Amino acid sequence: MAHNHPKPATAPPLSDADSQPPAGADAIRAYLRTMPSAPGVYRMLDHRGDVLYVGKAKNLKKRITSYTKPTGLGNRIARMVAATRKMEIITTHTEAEALLLESNLIKKLKPRYNILLRDDKSFPYILITGDHAWPRITKHRGARSDKGEYFGPFASAASVNETLNTMQRAFPLRSCTDSDFERRTRPCLQYQIKRCTAPCVQRISADDYATIVDQARDFLSGRSSEIQKQFSEIMEQASADLEFETAAIYRDRIRALTQIQTRQDINVLGVGEADIIAAYQDGGQTCIQIFFFRAGQNYGNRSYFPANTGDASEGDVISAFIGQFYARRPPPKHILISHPVEKQDLIEEALSIRADHRVHLTRPQRGAKRKLLDHALTNARAALGRRLAEHGTQRKLLDGVGRLFDMEDPPQRIEVYDNSHIQGSEAIGSMIVAGPEGLMKNAYRKFNIRDEQTAPGDDYAMMREVLGRRFKRLMKEDPDRDRGHWPDLIVIDGGKGQLSSVQDVFVDLGVTDVTLVAIAKGPDRNAGRETFYMQGRQPFTLEPRDPVLYFLQRLRDEAHRFAIGTHRARRSKVIGKSSLDEIAGIGAKRKRALLNHFGSAREVERAGLADLEAVDGISKTVARTIYDHFHEIG
């Protein structure tokens, strides 16, 4: 293991003639006299003591000597050498230990001249809980401290959500929290769309529910073909017994399993537990694409764009990526790489120490596994192309929004909601959409407030209706989230009350993976003093000149502009038209008589037949026509 704490290598004292401490190669050369010829890790420091670079070596003295030679250094390393003033070293027993320590220090210190893995968020898992009589299936991130069984990791929230959404069609287990489960008195929407068996209200027996839990567990453990065979046998037997409803249920479950397997279009027989890592370089940048395979299934992929890769080879970037990526997560048994890396045996030894099992790095040249690498390379090239093509400012803004709201990735679809009305009349809800390409005006939507129980001007109720309708429709029309219509981030114009209203809607519908933010105007409605509200966080503000604040203000103002414009158009239309205009035989004279008698078209709609007959100029026949128009059945 590493020997004690970091210690500076000693340099000879300055002579009286020296007016400045040595810099660059001279500073490094001064430490060679006491540098050990042993394995270890070294740190280069600048004049402020900040870490410039962290490296490891089998022979520290030999490696440090190479920095004193002017030839053979790339531009990045040459700049690092020029800025060096001091050094610190840590000796280790073996070079493998030095490699592990180097990776940890790079992740912790983020030195300016190392290749850096900037995006290092935790990965989600699927959890089947083990602390409740009716286990639930859900996404889990963070420390695995909850009781139950974990399956993963998945490459992203999108990949785990996709698998969960499709799995719930094959294995309709509850996804609600225990508190929601306990207070349920009737099945929720998940039951209505056949994504849950409603154990909360005893629509399924405990034994039958346990069977579904076992089937889901077997599927996630890699026994998908056995589960599909069981479903086929049950379906055929049910069909033979003329139990067509049961047969249809299992037919749909088989289709769901097939859909998961079809989407995992690069599955390869014999790849049970492996990560596939490919690097592609262009425009001075590098994209690392990693695919996860667990239990014989493709658990998705993710793109990384390490920093400081301009003068590094693909192999060097892959080597640095592997060291930092697996510094805080267990590596699988097999890692397939697209380019050769130096000291592959050493990397395998270090990863095996960390994982407590043998880890193999391979670079297949042909066959099915080579096709996996080619597929990953294609994805890396496409991802880097998109990144280079994106408008730099917009990308930085979305990156800033993602960091501000603690999102896993920068949002690709932001939906902003606002309401508009005049003292409660002609109420309108509006939705605008933004993404990497800017405002997506063809995706804008308006919502006429329909619920007659909503009191005039009740913004909370209006927001509940708008978001409820929006997500009910999403769940029915795009339940598998493969059409690009699901938002990553919802921004609502309002404060804590509006936020709470929408949270209630999300709880009722079982929506748990969309970031929700409310933005309230500042005192005296001053722009630049907005307060942000999120569940689980204290309200917070941003600096008035923060570019991300400007961006969010523009989105909110665009939503307000769209809401006001839609409301004005509707109001202008309604001023000269009412629902009475749609009734055959009702001209201007009878319309005026009805409005004078009842006061408004809505009161005419609510009137009884006898009340209508009492209006001057309205015969019994016309009254019946009006009444039937507003009360027709069907």
Q: Where are the domains of the chain?
A: 7-109, 274-389, 401-574, 579-631
Reduced 3-state DSSP string for 442-482: HHCEEEECCCCCCCCCCHHHHHHHHHHHHHHHHHHHCCCCC
Whether 19 has a pLDDT exceeding 80, the answer reads no
Higher pLDDT, 319 or 482: 319
Mean pLDDT of the chain: 85
What pLDDT, on the 0 to 100 scale, is given for residue 264? 53
What pLDDT, on the 0 to 100 scale, is given for residue 7? 59
- 6 pLDDT band, cuts 50/70/90, is low
Amino acid at 318: I
Rounded mean pLDDT, 605-613:
84
Residue labelled with tokens 């086929």: 232
Q: Which fold has domain 579-631?
A: DNA polymerase; domain 1 (1.10.150)
Residue-wise pLDDT for 204-220, tens only, equals: 999 999 999 998 988 88
Q: Which two tokens stand for residue 576?
A: 């000269």
Whether 241 has a pLDDT exceeding 80, the answer reads yes
- Of 46-60, 106-120, 476-490, 592-606, the range with the highest mean pLDDT is 46-60
Rounded mean pLDDT, 623-634:
72
- 168 pLDDT band, cuts 50/70/90, is confident
- Of 79-88, 220-229, 250-259, 619-628, the range with the highest mean pLDDT is 79-88
Q: b or e along 219-232 (b: 16 or more beta carbons within 10 Å of the residue's beta carbon)?
A: bbeebbeebbebbe
The architecture CATH gives domain 274-389: 2-Layer Sandwich (3.30)
What is residue 527's DSSP assignment?
Answer: T
- 565 pLDDT band, cuts 50/70/90, is confident
Q: Are 383 and 303 in contact (CB under 8 A)?
A: yes
- 573 pLDDT band, cuts 50/70/90, is low
What pLDDT, on the 0 to 100 scale, is given for residue 280? 95
Whether 575 has a pLDDT exceeding 90, the answer reads no
SS3 content of the chain, % helix, strand, coil (to 5): 45, 20, 35
Which residues, including other chains, have CB under 8 Å from residue 427's CB and lie 6 or more apart? 419, 420, 421, 448, 449, 454, 456, 462
Determine which of 311-320, 367-376, 391-400, 594-603 has the lowest per-residue pLDDT on average.
Answer: 594-603
Q: Which CATH number does the domain 401-574 belong to among 3.40.30.10, 3.40.50.300, 2.102.10.10, 3.30.420.340? A: 3.30.420.340
Whether 441 has a pLDDT exceeding 50, the answer reads yes
Higher pLDDT, 584 or 352: 352
**What whole-number distance in Å separates Cα of residue 199 and Cα of residue 337?**
46
- 415 pLDDT band, cuts 50/70/90, is very high
Residue from 166, 184, 186 nearest 176 by CA:
184
Higher pLDDT, 259 or 577: 259
Rounded mean pLDDT, 392-406:
88
Determine which of 94-108, 464-478, 573-587 has the lowest per-residue pLDDT on average.
Answer: 573-587
What pLDDT, on the 0 to 100 scale, is given for residue 262? 58
Rounded mean pLDDT, 325-329:
88
Which residues, including other chains, have CB under 8 Å from residue 576's CB and lie 6 or more apart? none
**What whole-number distance in Å separates Cα of residue 384 and Cα of residue 269?**
29
Whether 406 has a pLDDT exceeding 70, the answer reads yes
69 class by beta-carbon count within 10 Å (0-12 exposed, 13-18 middle, 19+ buried)? exposed
Determine which of 9-18, 84-93, 410-419, 478-487 has the lowest per-residue pLDDT on average.
Answer: 9-18
The yes-or-no answer to whether 274-389 and 579-631 have a common fold is no
> For residue 205, what is the enclosing H or E element?
none
Q: Which two tokens stand for residue 456?
A: 């005039």
Residue labelled with tokens 């270890």: 40
Q: Are 178 and 135 in contact (CB under 8 A)?
A: no
What pLDDT, on the 0 to 100 scale, is given for residue 276? 95
Higher pLDDT, 338 or 230: 338
Q: Which fold has domain 7-109?
A: GIY-YIG endonuclease (3.40.1440)
What pLDDT, on the 0 to 100 scale, is given for residue 395? 82
